[in-house]
Structure 1
Amino acid sequence: MRWWWQPRKQHGRIGRQVTALVVTTAVLLAGTWVGASRIPTRWFGPAHPASAQAALPVDRVVWAWAGAVTTTSATVVAEAVRPARRARLVLTADQAGVARSTAAVPVGGDGIVRLRATGLRPDTAYRYVVEVDAIADHARGDGRFRTMPSGPASFTVAVGSCARTGSSGAVFDAIRAVEPLLYVSAGDLHYGNPARDDVTVFGDLYRQTLTSPAQAALYRSVPVAYVWDDHDYGPNDADAAAPTRPAARAAYSAYVPHYPQPEPGGAVYQAFTIGRVRFVLTDNRSERTGTSLLGARQLAWLQRELVTAARGHAVVVWVNPDPWIAAPAGGADDWGGYPQERRVLADTIAAARIDNLVMISGDAHMVALDDGSHSGYSGAGYPGFPVLQAGALDRPGSVKGGPYSHGTFPGGGQFGTITITDSATSRVGVELTGRTWRSTILVSYRTTFPAPSTPPKPGTG
């Protein structure tokens, strides 16, 4: 039996999905099997070819990833091979080559250790090595990140969503190849669909994800910012009533190198600044009820954040894990199911005259792009804003929501980028792209925004 993979193509603005797998019956009858572990299958296996990345040997560290990177600090979370007592980071700046280390801290009974480096230089590339009980791990414990710029700067951020559990797809190599300053996981880091209030279940799913060769190579090379959607938080369409909510939040606090949360240990929404751009990430699951997608506290925080950020930054990027553009529909698992709350936010944007907002979303297994033609939902008819749907990393393609001015591209092996061009002039450029594992650009959109009259304060805010 032989499976052939073909890229999905766009068919008009509706973006109808084209079947991507064809079974060759003659080969099937001949009983020939070619590359079963590396060729996509329709529903349960990979949605695009696997990476050739090999797993590194296990020495002192099982996995490590970096995040919460600011102008002067970064956090690395790692799992040490047990038994282990203490761990620390040894960091080397590329320009200086002088090593510095963090204080050694105790390793948890589960092998998890959180290591925070402070006093770093802005806009500087660092190499880090995790030391466990004074022994450096130069395989899985060896990684890199770059601290954030403190002023005007040009950079690229990659965004992806919806990967099957343990995926080692070639798409992760393609993300690494664009050399982003940051990788944003906009939900469904895995498709574990946990159903029990058990932190160890989440720990096992993080381990499967972070030890996958292609993903591990990405996370050792690029820092992350991550918020969940349903399949990595609980069962399909999970909300605040999910039995996994306490365990999901506890595991996130333990395993993820995240930016400060307004509700420590609670909902995982957060915000941070890169140069003159503010990134705002919302938790669209753990506060969701039948009447509110965000919950009252997060909604109020988001309204304040959008207004304040728009005034002090050149660009505001809202990482909103679920599709925003959708027709009102009771019970829908996107913003179409919450039209009143969407109107509240749209009216907030209109009242503050926010005109420098960009949205990036996941959940839908497609790349899609709207130039603002269909994203405005205020009662006053205020214009919309650009929206990029960035998926699916490694799940079968599907279309959700819409319409989108630049069309839909359903499929697996896909991701998005946002590139900021800021040369300290009066305007800042933004380019949104949707890409494939082949490094093909499916769709792109460019715009500019006026720079703020006063510079944003550095840090995560």
Structure 2
Amino acid sequence: MVRYKFPLLFLTLLFTTIFSLGQDKFTIAFGSCNNQNLPNPFWQDIISLQPNVWIWGGDNIYADTHNMHKMKKLYNQQKNHFLYKKLIKTTPVLATWDDHDYGKNDGGTEYKKKKESQQLFLDFLDIPINSPRRKQEGIYHSKTFNINNNSIKIIVLDSRYFRTGLTKGIGSKRFQSNTHDKGSILGTQQWKWLESELKNSNSSFNIIVSSIQILSKEHGFEKWGNFPNEVTKLFKLIKTSKAKNIIFLSGDRHISEFSKTTLKNIPYPIIDFTSSGLTHSYNSFKNEQNKFRVGEVISSLSFGILHIDLTNNKVTFQMRGKNNTILQEINQKYP
């Protein structure tokens, strides 16, 4: 048997380097549009990647009901899926909701069971009964992950609880932009909260999760673009807050795509990574305008991955399909 002798100092430096490299990497896995009655082919793939966090991007179940007993049953069905249970044993979970788990298709502030629905949503996430999130209106929240001398803040928005009425579209478009600069997506209190979250953030990256797309605005479905005043307000806040390296994550559309734009005096591009869906997708997708799109639309089942390299301030964005196949990838260097 051959034995190798290494100086203790060398071994110490080696293991310190390996540990530091591991700690300076952070992986986010996320996805949306998960019908509890359909097979989800991705849980084992996601588990194998050992993400630092899993983020539900909305439509985490399909309930569409005023019956809270039914909604609870559907949440329990998803929660008890044996592979999902395996995932959450080792992986922190953050989540927003979209319309189908909120309880009403395309629903907003008018949904009469939103308070009851919120409690079931928090039950699904095992949020303690005495948590302040149980008393606030809306499910918005944030969490900061510390990695050595860096941190990543994940800000989860609620695009349902306070969202005012949509403007009906013309022709094939279901909805169109509100041209009178009225209405809101986030509501007064959530806007104040978001302003505070960004202005007081010292994190190296700030990930903003929205159930609906923020950048893509030419299609006729739900989107931030239906409320141009809200988009303007958000972009202004990004500029004034001076929060570092903001990235958008979104879902809802049953397609996956990357959208990218630039803002004056912001030294990096703003990327909106849409990932959808986990159990069903827009397989018949043909074409759709999006002037901010980078790459191609993926209309097959997929989930999203962000590999964040905090040493080099680089993010690798990946759409992944079955068996962890990389369907599309972009890389972005940040200041």
Give the residue type in structure 2 aligned to 1:358.
I
Q: Decide whether the 8 Å contact of 2:206 with 2:244 is kept in 1.
A: no
**Aligned-partner Cα distance in 2 for 1:430–1:284:** 26
Q: Decide whether the 8 Å contact of 2:195 with 2:241 is kept in 1.
A: no
Query: Is the counterpart of residue 306 in structure 1 residue 188 in structure 2?
Result: no
Residue among 28, 48, 69 paired with 1:177: 48
Alignment match, 2:217: 327
Q: Against the structure 1 CA distance between its residues 339 and 385, is the aligned structure 2 distance closer, same or farther, given a 3 Å change threshold?
A: same
Q: Decide whether the 8 Å contact of 1:350 with 1:382 is kept in 2.
A: no
> Whose strand fraction is larger, Structure 1's or Structure 2's?
1
Q: Against the structure 1 CA distance between its residues 235 and 189, is the aligned structure 2 distance closer, same or farther, given a 3 Å change threshold?
A: same
Residues 34-113 of structure 1: matches in 2 within 5 Å?
Answer: none
Query: Is the counterpart of residue 316 in structure 1 residue 206 in structure 2?
Result: yes
Structure 1 residue 285, shift from structure 2 partner: 0.6
Residues 410-429 of structure 1: matches in 2 within 5 Å?
Answer: 410-412=299-301, 414-423=302-311, 427-429=312-314
SS in 2 for 1:214: helix
**Aligned-partner Cα distance in 2 for 1:348–1:263:** 27
Query: Is the counterpart of residue 390 in structure 1 residue 275 in structure 2?
Result: yes
Q: Against the structure 1 CA distance between its residues 344 and 407, is the aligned structure 2 distance closer, same or farther, given a 3 Å change threshold?
A: same
The percentage of aligned residue pairs carrying the same residue is 23
**Aligned-partner Cα distance in 1 for 2:106–2:62:** 12
SS in 2 for 1:406: strand
Alignment match, 2:174: none
Structure 1 residue 352, shift from structure 2 partner: 3.7
> Whose helix fraction is larger, Structure 1's or Structure 2's?
2
SS in 2 for 1:418: strand
Taking only aligned residues, the RMSD between alpha carbons, in angstroms, comes to 2.8
Structure 1 residue 192, shift from structure 2 partner: 1.8
Alignment match, 2:159: 284
Give the residue type in structure 2 aligned to 1:321.
S
Deviations, residues 76-117 of structure 1 (Å, cap 9, x unaligned): xxxxxxxxxxxxxxxxxxxxxxxxxxxxxxxxxxxxxxxxxx
Structure 1 residue 183, shift from structure 2 partner: 0.7
SS in 2 for 1:388: strand
Q: Decide whether the 8 Å contact of 1:154 with 1:422 is kept in 2.
A: yes
Structure 1 residue 248, shift from structure 2 partner: 0.6
Give the residue type in structure 2 aligned to 1:322.
I
Structure 1 residue 213, shift from structure 2 partner: 3.4
Alignment match, 1:109: none
Query: Is the counterpart of residue 406 in structure 1 residue 295 in structure 2?
Result: yes
Q: Decide whether the 8 Å contact of 1:165 with 1:208 is kept in 2.
A: yes
Alignment match, 2:331: 446
**Aligned-partner Cα distance in 1 for 2:93–2:221:** 29
Moved more, 401-410 or 283-292: 401-410
Query: Is the counterpart of residue 245 in structure 1 residue 114 in structure 2?
Result: yes
Give the residue type in structure 2 aligned to 1:175.
I
Alignment length (residue pairs): 288
**Aligned-partner Cα distance in 2 for 1:182–1:383:** 24
**Aligned-partner Cα distance in 1 for 2:144–2:23:** 11
Q: Which has the larger radius of gyration?
A: 1
Q: Decide whether the 8 Å contact of 1:369 with 1:405 is kept in 2.
A: yes
Task: Structure 2: state its 5+ residue gaps.
Answer: 1-19, 166-182
Structure 1 residue 188, shift from structure 2 partner: 0.6
